Structure 1
């Protein structure tokens, strides 16, 4: 059931002229219907008790009446007037209103509310009423402007998840991480990242040293939008993933198997890296323009 923020300020009065009375009525009415959001409570110690006890009304009796009868606000004020011993003199109402107006939050509660609303600790706001208002407005804004949907996941696969898929993950995240969540895995993970792969990626300003070699089974229970395989062996055994929409196979040579001097091997790593930059750069450009066709 949809929850409703009680957007009545404690500063609001009804015909009786008592501050906070309309707010505590609304909170309790919403609670009685199961529509008071998490974090809000019906009649509780604080403003609620101070106002009711200041009027010489038992808080439990007020809660029970609203929860059971669900009156309109004027009906609630009529109930208040009818209570034995209630003090509705102008002097007493003025005294209750002063208590509401002058009340301040405790230091920890105040700092928490300031932080939640993006305000500095030295903010001049001290009033409990204003802090509660800010919290209400923040809550309603969060409901009316929900968080954007999660980015689609692109999973890059190769056999060992040590070299090619790790470089591809780093490159694609660098050029399209604002559009997609990029991850990688292997069918037979090596358990470590190839040192030369880390080195040639560092040369272009991309750090993959924090990556982890992992098995593709870690993603079997996740919603994967696109699977990209970068070596032939894994492409032949690649499973379908939940929610998978697209699948591409863009094969690259494995520089890990290159033989020769260190210079020859590093040259091959750079060649494969640069091919990936071209292919995944084109893929990212396609994503931004509504397509996803690589250029090779």
Structure 2
């Protein structure tokens, strides 16, 4: 049975979207993947889409979602280091990744964030695989 994982940050416009993209690409056999924000935002950051595309992850259909748009019960909740207290989301496991927001930075900042998120998603996939054996 797949684990429901949700990646949450403030606007769901960059880091949580990248995490969703990586989790869908690398962990589709173990995860049912969601991402959301605590505040609305008009679009996914174009540089986030661009750097993920460079890495072979298509996020062209992604759009910002709110917590109310995802399931109310999640197995794994990952916050991205939003510096805000996320509302209570029922989950079995919760972790904060503390990743800096590259918004307003250079494309290299976005690439660095993309690569850190990929490593963390790979580690999360391995953790779930070990747990499910």
Whether these two folds match at TM > 0.5 is yes
Unaligned runs of at least 5 residues, structure 1: 1-148, 259-264, 292-296
Kindly indicate whether residue 97 of structure 2 is the aligned counterpart of residue 247 of structure 1.
Answer: no
Q: Equivalent of 2:55, from 194, 201, 204? A: 204
Deviations 1:185-223 (A, max 9, x none): 00112121111000000011100111120111223x532
Larger radius of gyration: 1
> For this pair of structures, how many residues does the alignment match?
132
Structure 1 stretches of at least 4 aligned residues deviating more than 4 Å after TM superposition? none
In 1: Cα distance, 2:116 partner to 2:3 partner:
24
TM-score (norm 1): 0.42
Larger fraction in strand: 2
Larger fraction in helix: 1
In 2: Cα distance, 1:286 partner to 1:170 partner:
18
In 2: Cα distance, 1:284 partner to 1:189 partner:
28
Kindly indicate whether residue 80 of structure 2 is the aligned counterpart of residue 230 of structure 1.
Answer: yes
- Partner of 2:57, secondary structure, is coil
Deviations 1:145-182 (A, max 9, x none): xxxx5x22111001110011000110112111111111
Deviations 1:222-252 (A, max 9, x none): 3211110002324x2x12234x111110011
Say if 1:158 and 1:230, in contact at 8 Å, map to a contact too.
yes
Map of 1:78-227 to 2, 5 A cutoff? 151-219=2-70, 222-227=72-77
Unaligned runs of at least 5 residues, structure 2: none
Say if 2:27 and 2:125, in contact at 8 Å, map to a contact too.
yes
In 1: Cα distance, 2:87 partner to 2:51 partner:
30
TM-score (norm 2): 0.91
